[in-house]
Amino acid sequence: MKVNLLDLDRSAMERWFAQTGEKPFRARQVLRWIHQRGAAEFDAMSDIARSLRTRLAEDAEIRAPEIVGDSTSADGTRKWLLKVDGANAVDCVYIPETGRGTLCISSQAGCTLDCAFCSTGKQGFNRNLTSAEIVAQLWIANRLLGRKQGAARPITNVVLMGMGEPMLNLDALIPALKLMLDDDAYGLSRRRVTVSTSGVIPGMDRLAGECPVALAVSLHAPDDELRDAIVPINRKYPLRDLLRACNRYLERAPRDFITFEYVMLDGVNDSPAHARALLSIAAKVRCKFNLIPFNPFPNSGFERSSPETIRRFAEILQRAGLTVTTRKTRGDAIDAACGQLAGRVSDRTRRTAGRRGTIPVREAA
């Protein structure tokens, strides 16, 4: 079995070279070729002796998921569907904005947590992605987006807001994050890499210790009763404990606030009373709010709050001095909005609502 070099962060690559009797600086050279210059072949690595290149090609490979879908919507949002094995595909979405470009990546194929309003959750869990499969999303997007001479980098921010619960796959996620931060790979600042979690407390503590980056927490409800119903992990890690974990995280975090994500579900969690109840949460944790208009999918049973309701909700928080942003709904036409990832692929092939299983990918004939 060849080693997939996309799986190795700097320390793992140094160890790997050391095992074969090579100098550790080879790791730096190879990291730069792979992640900065997007090399997929060892032959391209012109400052490495031919004999070593040949040996590398025998023992190692640079293997990324296969791109099986590539679509761009009118607002410039671009979505790739990446096949990670014969039975699974995940999504990766690029969102260009003035002055920055955000790549939204996946951490698992499916998700175990089953939040009521999430189409990934409805598809069930299939498997964790490997470090290579996680970082390859950035590698692929960088290669395809290119970089015009003198132009700014197309990807300035990465968010773990695609499919899956990142805190349940930290063994694979942490090396991938380290590559995102490494100056010889992607060189992103910790503040520009955001992990989003539904509130898996042990994962938050581990991430704070091993690789603190910006943190977003999917709050979605101001009290345990409602949160138990729509974010089931709350039954295991209730709000009081979650807020304490947020404050522990902030001791190590690169930013001095947590972003609370809040999906706006018509008639469920969007009343002025809900907004006022959030103020007592905000009094306990330094935070900003990101309101996400619900993105509908077939048989979800939910509807999006009206723009007027969302505006009023935001206003209550803002009047209390909180920073609130409302996420623009983007990439609708290509199902690239949050919660829609890979959903349609599975809808087309299995119409039974709520059935669980893999996310099927059609094999080329």
Q: CB-wise, 45 or 138, nearer to ligand SAH?
A: 138
Asked if residues 94 and 103 have their Cβ atoms less than 8 Å apart, the reply is yes
How many Cβ atoms sit within 10 Å of the Cβ of residue 177?
Answer: 27
- Rounded CA-CA distance 337/316 in Å is 26
Q: Quick one: what does residue 292 bind among ligand SF4, ligand SAH, none, with the CB cut-off 5 to 8 Å set by partner type?
A: ligand SAH
Q: What is the DSSP string of 290-323?
A: EEEE----TT----BPPHHHHHHHHHHHHHTT--
User: Closest-CB residue for ligand SAH?
Assistant: 339
Query: Residue 354 Cβ, how far from ligand SF4 at the closest point, in Å?
Result: 13
- Of 89, 110, 200, 216, the closest CA to residue 161 belongs to 216
Print burial letters for 203-220: b (CB count within 10 Å at least 16), e (below 16).
bbeebbeebbbbbbbbbb
Two tokens, residue 41: 């072949």
Q: Which does 114 bind (CB under 5 to 8 A by kind): ligand SAH, ligand SF4, none?
A: ligand SF4
Choose between 24 and 202: whose C-beta lies nearer to ligand SAH: 202
Per CB under 6 A, the segment of 34-42, 62-70, 117-125, 352-360 that binds ligand SAH is 117-125
Number of residues that bind ligand SAH (CB under 6 A): 17
Token code pair at residue 14? 């140094």
DSSP lists the bridge partners of residue 217 as 197, 260
Residues 96-115 contacting ligand SF4, CB under 6 A:
111, 113-115
Residue closer to ligand SAH, measured from CB, 142 or 295:
295
For residue 261, the minimal CB distance to ligand SF4 (Å) is: 9
Return the number of the residue (137 or 218) whose C-beta is nearest ligand SAH. Answer: 218
Site string for ligand SF4, 160-189 (x = CB under 6 A): ----xx------------------------
The entry of ligand SAH, ligand SF4, none near residue 261 (CB within 5 to 8 angstroms by kind) is ligand SAH
**Please, what is the minimum distance in Å from the beta carbon of residue 232 to ligand SF4?**
8
Token pair for residue 63? 């293997």
88 binds ligand SAH (CB under 6 A): no
Rg of the chain taking only CA atoms, in angstroms? 21
Residue choice 8, 64, 118, 342 for contact with ligand SF4 (CB under 6 A): 118
Q: How far apart are CA 134 and CA 5, in angstroms?
A: 13
